[in-house]
Chain A
Amino acid sequence: MNDQALLSARDYTVQIDGLIERGRYAQAGSLIGEALAHYPQDSGLLFAAARIDYDSGDADGARHTLHQILAHDPDHYLARSLMVNLLQDSGDLPAAELLLIDLLRAYPEAAFQYARYALLMYRTLHIDKAKALAREAYRLDPNNELALTTCLIGDIIDGRRGAEQAGLARLLQGHPESENTARMLITHLVGRGRYRAAKRIAVELLKLYPNSREVLELVVQLDALSHWSMLPLWPLNRWGWIASGGLYLITLLGLNLVRSQAPLFSSLATYTLIGYCLYSWIYPPLLTRWLKRRAGL
């Protein structure tokens, strides 16, 4: 007789959670199949199955399993929490919001859920409400990673540099190893035009998550921004459309000045500026495309 048949549903869940933590989804999936044959209605096992489906990109499978759990246990916290993810991913943001509000009414001290609600509000451009939710999450649990992150996002959006640095310092202090912290640090460095430093962190992140396409794309983007051939475009990358407006003014004044003071160089100056403009429009996408191809994207 198989030894594992004697395991309780709880023991199965612990084993499966361990496999999920290590990213061994195939093994976890086969163990779940075996466990559910013995305990078909166990919420913990069904939730683990939904989580595997969700993590492996099978949204329909995950949704079906979550509905199964919620049919006999409508208050299942983890199932409702994961359902919020599914609703957000499918673009049903109003339903996700209602479910989050239900969760917060049932668990008013859940800082994590307040922070998730703040993220949803940022995403839908309800900035003031998002900031208030982030503050509430931080008040409930000042060490919660997502609460710290949402407060930091609010500071970045507000453009308050001092508060942004302080928020980032708190996040680095409390959660130095977290992927989330690394991403926020990269955002901070990119915002300051420090592309090489941001790339170094992204490369470290890629070492931690070698299978993540998203992180690889981030490395490629930062590689393009910090490439030596992009150095002449640094002002445009750093200050964006403000720099483009400035370039227009300089072009206008500079060309007229050259025309009146040194007409011999007028054509040279015109062609140089046209060349620079073409370079700034055409070269960056070509470089990014080449780097993506080189990275296998």
Chain B
Amino acid sequence: MREHLLTPSLSASAAPVRLYSIQSSFLVAFFGGPAASLLYCGLNSWRLRRLADIPVHLAGAALLVALAYLLMYQPARFDGLYQLLGNDVFRALRTMLALAICGTFYALHQKQHRSRAFFSDKPPSPWIAAIVCMVAGYSIMVGLVAALKGMAS
């Protein structure tokens, strides 16, 4: 047992893992939408080398495509929400899906986030990554809508 514990886990060539904070993930999800949130949370999954997150990413992407498809071609399914929220439905669903993605990945990486917070380790600067993910997320959404429109015509 001890031998297993006494095997080095750190290497001089690989810097210790630093995760993007939950605050920045939340803001990217809120302002950037679900595609940006998936991309940004994917950065933390990549940093943690968590292969187990891949199915969650795929499920998030599938949900995003399904939501866009339903909103475009079967809006009647959201009649109840339209009555409740009026014209805010699209924005509300987009934001809620993005926050759900952010929350799911927070739950998956919760221990690492708590450990980071416990030792007051400063997270990496989120600005460049966040802006790139938000721009890429917006482009993905435009591409997705165009692709869905192309399928219909």
Once the chains are docked, how many angstroms separate the CA of A157 from the CA of B112?
Answer: 8
Among A1-9, A13-21, A239-247, A267-275, the one that faces the other chain is A239-247
| Candidates B8, B12, B26; contact of A241 at CB < 8 Å | B26
| B119 in contact (CB, < 8 A) | yes
B22 contact set on A, CB distance < 8 A: 240-241
Interface size on A, residues (CB 8 A): 40
Instruction: Give, as a whole number of angstroms, the nearest-CB distance from A50 to chain B.
Output: 24
B77 contact set on A, CB distance < 8 A: none
Q: Assess the A136–B10 pair: CB atoms within 8 A.
A: no
Q: Assess the A252–B88 pair: CB atoms within 8 A.
A: yes
Q: Assess the A122–B103 pair: CB atoms within 8 A.
A: no
Looking across the interface, which residue of chain A has its beta carbon closest to that of B110?
A: A159
| Candidates B16, B84, B92; contact of A124 at CB < 8 Å | B16
Q: Assess the A97–B8 pair: CB atoms within 8 A.
A: yes
Q: Assess the B23–A125 pair: CB atoms within 8 A.
A: no
B95 contact set on A, CB distance < 8 A: 248
A252 contact set on B, CB distance < 8 A: 85, 88, 92
Interface size on B, residues (CB 8 A): 37
B121 contact set on A, CB distance < 8 A: 123
A197 contact set on B, CB distance < 8 A: none
Interface-central residue, B6, B12, B110, B119, by most chain A CB under 10 Å: B6
Q: Which A residues between 45 and 65 are near B, CB-CB below 8 angstroms?
A: none
B2 contact set on A, CB distance < 8 A: 104, 108, 136
Q: Assess the B115–A249 pair: CB atoms within 8 A.
A: no
| Candidates B8, B23, B26, B99; contact of A98 at CB < 8 Å | B8
Assuming A241-B26, A248-B99, is B112 touching A125 (CB within 8 A)?
yes
| A26 in contact (CB, < 8 A) | no
Q: Assess the A256–B112 pair: CB atoms within 8 A.
A: no
Interface-central residue, B5, B12, B30, B102, by most chain A CB under 10 Å: B5
B8 contact set on A, CB distance < 8 A: 94, 97-98, 101
Among A69-77, A126-134, A168-176, the one that faces the other chain is A126-134
A117 contact set on B, CB distance < 8 A: 5
B114 contact set on A, CB distance < 8 A: 156-157, 159
Assuming A245-B103, A248-B30, is B118 touching A157 (CB within 8 A)?
yes
Looking across the interface, which residue of chain B has its beta carbon closest to that of A127?
A: B111
Q: Assess the B96–A121 pair: CB atoms within 8 A.
A: no
Instruction: Give, as a whole number of angstroms, the nearest-CB distance from A148 to chain B.
Output: 16
Looking across the interface, which residue of chain A has its beta carbon closest to that of B6?
A: A101
Give A87-119 as 1s and 0s: 1 = Cβ < 8 Å from B's Cβ atoms: 000000111011001001100100000100100
| B75 in contact (CB, < 8 A) | no
B136 contact set on A, CB distance < 8 A: none
Once the chains are docked, how many angstroms separate the CA of A124 from the CA of B47?
Answer: 12
| A253 in contact (CB, < 8 A) | yes
Assuming A122-B118, A122-B119, A153-B118, is B9 touching A249 (CB within 8 A)?
no
Once the chains are docked, how many angstroms separate the CA of A125 from the CA of B44?
Answer: 12
| A187 in contact (CB, < 8 A) | yes
Assuming A94-B12, A156-B114, is B6 touching A124 (CB within 8 A)?
no
| Candidates B5, B12, B102; contact of A133 at CB < 8 Å | B5
B26 contact set on A, CB distance < 8 A: 241, 244-245
Looking across the interface, which residue of chain A has its beta carbon closest to that of B9?
A: A126
A153 contact set on B, CB distance < 8 A: 118
B106 contact set on A, CB distance < 8 A: 241
Looking across the interface, which residue of chain A has its beta carbon closest to that of B22?
A: A241
| Candidates A104, A125, A158, A259; contact of B17 at CB < 8 Å | A125
| B116 in contact (CB, < 8 A) | yes
Instruction: Give, as a whole number of angstroms, the nearest-CB distance from B49 to chain A.
Output: 11
B111 contact set on A, CB distance < 8 A: 127, 157-158
Interface-central residue, B48, B95, B102, B111, by most chain A CB under 10 Å: B111
Instruction: Give, as a whole number of angstroms, the nearest-CB distance from B141 to chain A.
Output: 20
Jot down 5 A-B pairs with beta carbons below 8 A, ordered by A: A125-B116, A157-B111, A157-B118, A252-B85, A259-B86
